[in-house]
């Protein structure tokens, strides 16, 4: 394991799931190979993960990883910011991504897709994000896949697009970043809220208030590795093996039994993405 990486935390008392990660990017960011990342996660009882693509190449890689390892399922997409940058090539990229769907039963999600108004500020780029978002929504419905949403500084518009296009049956607000009011609006629609390591940051009380009102059956936890590393390792490279820090924080915040929370998170991931398989 790379010297940059934090030490492994104490293992969780029951198996659970990292509901959103980018193991391929972990390799680039820290040097931790995908095989080593999976082994390190399993050693702390993070036994399953969702590998998420952000463009055609990383989506293909996510599918390959999921086909190689039973503890992995894949979600495929063109990230909103990649869609904004695609320019006139966006239709071709969307067509190439769509051609992946139906090629593997390890593809369980479409996303991360959505809107990002932090990185993309121009009207033309935001228009391309909406175009891509609408396409991803249609694919999730057509293939009965979970929709994995990236939402940054665009809460109201994300809900507007979902209303206009019609939501799939299963929707995950990945890396949930809203307050309690936005959480209620999402929960009223039956969406899952997925909380990353940022929930542990001292300044994020509004995010913790959103967590407080999230019912057990709509709660997920993720790393979004290699980013958003939880305390006490904020600022260092993230990987799925660090998920226990966030799970323990949430258990303490909610006054929940840690073993039961691990099982609940795993059950919710299965409800959203389906079963991983005999060994996963």
Domain boundaries, the chain: 16-273
Cβ contacts of 119 within 8 Å, gap of 6 or more = 81, 84, 152
Asked whether residue 79 is marked as a ligand-binding residue, the answer is no
Whole-prediction pTM: 0.97
Question: Is 224 annotated as contributing to ligand binding?
Answer: yes
pLDDT at residue number 277: 82
Q: Is 217 annotated as a binding residue?
A: no
Token pair, residue 61, equals 């890689």
136 is in an annotated binding site: no
User: Residue 278's pLDDT is what?
Assistant: 57
155 is an annotated ligand-binding site residue = no
pLDDT tens-digit profile of 43-98? 999 999 999 999 999 999 999 999 999 999 999 999 999 999 999 999 999 999 99
Is 150 annotated in a binding site? The answer is yes
In the chain, which residues have pLDDT < 70? Answer: 1-3, 278-280
Q: Which CATH class for the 16-273 domain?
A: alpha beta
pLDDT for 134: 98
- With a CB cutoff of 8 Å and minimum separation 6, the contacts of 132 are 78, 80, 83, 90, 94, 113
- Residue 1 confidence (pLDDT): 43
CA dist list (Å): 246 to 32, 109, 242, 268: 20, 23, 8, 16
């Amino acid at each position: 394991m790379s010297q940059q990486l934090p030490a492994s935390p104490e293992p969780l008392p029951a198996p659970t799931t990292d509901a959103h990660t980018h193991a391929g990017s972990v390799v680039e960011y820290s040097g931790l190979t995908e095989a080593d990342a999976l082994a390190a996660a399993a050693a702390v009882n993070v036994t399953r993960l969702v590998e998420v693509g952000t463009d055609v190449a990383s989506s293909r890689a996510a599918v390959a990883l999921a086909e190689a390892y039973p503890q992995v399922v894949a979600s495929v997409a063109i990230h909103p910011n990649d869609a904004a940058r695609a320019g006139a090539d966006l239709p071709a990229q969307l067509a190439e991504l769509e051609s992946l769907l139906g090629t593997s039963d390890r593809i369980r999600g479409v996303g991360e897709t959505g809107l990002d108004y932090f990185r993309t500020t121009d009207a033309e780029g935001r228009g391309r994000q909406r175009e891509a978002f609408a396409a991803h929504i249609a694919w999730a419905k057509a293939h009965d896949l979970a929709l994995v949403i990236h939402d940054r500084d665009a809460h109201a518009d994300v809900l507007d697009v979902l209303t206009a296009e019609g939501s799939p049956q299963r929707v995950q607000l990945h890396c949930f970043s809203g307050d309690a009011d936005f959480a209620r609006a999402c929960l009223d629609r039956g969406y899952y809220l997925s909380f990353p390591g940022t929930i542990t940051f001292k300044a994020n009380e509004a995010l913790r208030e959103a967590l407080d009102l999230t019912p057990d059956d709509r709660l997920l936890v993720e790393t979004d590795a290699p980013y958003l590393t939880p305390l006490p390792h904020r600022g260092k490279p993230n990987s799925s093996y660090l998920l226990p820090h966030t799970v323990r924080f949430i258990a303490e915040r909610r006054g929940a039994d840690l073993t039961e929370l691990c099982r609940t998170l795993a059950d919710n991931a299965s409800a959203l993405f389906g079963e991983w398989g005999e060994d996963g």
